[in-house]
Structure 1
Amino acid sequence: MKTFINKFFICLTLLTSMALANCNNANEDLPLELTIQDKVILLESGEWLLKGFETNVMHTFKAGKKYTFYGSGNVFSNEAIPGTQEYTISGEMLTINYNFGNITSYQLKFSCDNSIVEFYINGKLNTTLYKRNSNYKQCL
């Protein structure tokens, strides 16, 4: 009986060792944080609704320009309002030129499977946008 118990523990130890040796950390291939370039790509890949005005104000970001669209009842004009704001990347910040000397730099934070983006100024939340036609409401 004693040899059976010894063989059992040896087998158990071997199996455990093999199982642990073959384990990979699934997060090893994933970056811990999106780069600012990744965040801008996400911004440019969709239409974004302004929190509090989700059915009336939509923004798009394309090739360094931010466009604003107005609508009613979640139906938006095909034409952006006149005037755009240019944006650039400055270090890890998104800098938007609102014209007439009004330039603001933001830290961006994505959440809810990248369907919510928050714009922070010096660590304080300034603006929240929801990706149009996404599941963002499930995260609120």
Structure 2
Amino acid sequence: MKTNSKKVTFFITLIIAIGFISCEDSNEEFTGELTIHDKVSLLENGEWLLKGFENRVMYTFKNGQRFTFYGADSVFADKAIPGTEDYSISGDFLILDLNFGNIKTYELQFSCDHNIAEFYEDGALHTTMYKKDSNYEQCL
């Protein structure tokens, strides 16, 4: 009787162990391609520093408008400068209206855990922005 009890306990333990081993980690991050809506959402949920002017020019994107902030030594004004640029989505592209008939069409690409945003125009890199208060410098 003890032998049968040990066998049953062994098999139950074995089945439970196999169940735990075969479970997938539910915390795995989806690494698929971002949609244009995902990319615009990333822009809208951050403050972005212009490459080459990281301590002087910052952009925010909210409700279809891009706001520009100027600063000195990485201290930016509380209010954006007067005037904004409208943006929208068309297909897989971000359309930015720079006013006075200047409309730009960009393909967005993100890298460095979404802390670096690159704007491509006709396949050529046009603008790079870094997410403020991120670790983007470790990726450079």
List, as ranges, runs of 4+ consecutive aligned residues in structure 1 with deviation greater than 4 Å. Answer: 22-26
Aligned-pair CA distance for 1:32? 2.0
SS, match of residue 127 in structure 2? strand
- Structure 1, unaligned stretches of length 5 or more? 1-17
SS, match of residue 43 in structure 1? helix
Q: 2 CA distance for matches of 1:42 and 1:29?
A: 16
Aligned-pair CA distance for 1:31? 5.3
Count of residues in Structure 1 that have an aligned counterpart in Structure 2: 121
Q: Tell me what 1:124 maps to.
A: 124
- Structure 2, unaligned stretches of length 5 or more? 1-17
| Change in 2 beyond 3 A, CA 1:107/1:135 | same
Superposed CA deviations along residues 46-77 of structure 1, whole A, max 9, x for unmatched, are: 10000000000000000000000000000000
Aligned-pair CA distance for 1:99? 0.6
Q: Tell me what 2:58 maps to.
A: 58
TM-score, normalised via structure 1 length? 0.80
1:98 aligns with 2:102: no
TM-score, normalised via structure 2 length? 0.80
SS, match of residue 67 in structure 2? strand
SS, match of residue 126 in structure 2? strand
SS, match of residue 88 in structure 1? strand
1:34 aligns with 2:31: no
Percent same amino acid at aligned positions?
59
1:1-140 to 2 correspondences below 5 Å: 22=22, 30=30, 32-140=32-140
Q: Tell me what 2:13 maps to.
A: none
Q: 2 CA distance for matches of 1:121 and 1:33?
A: 19
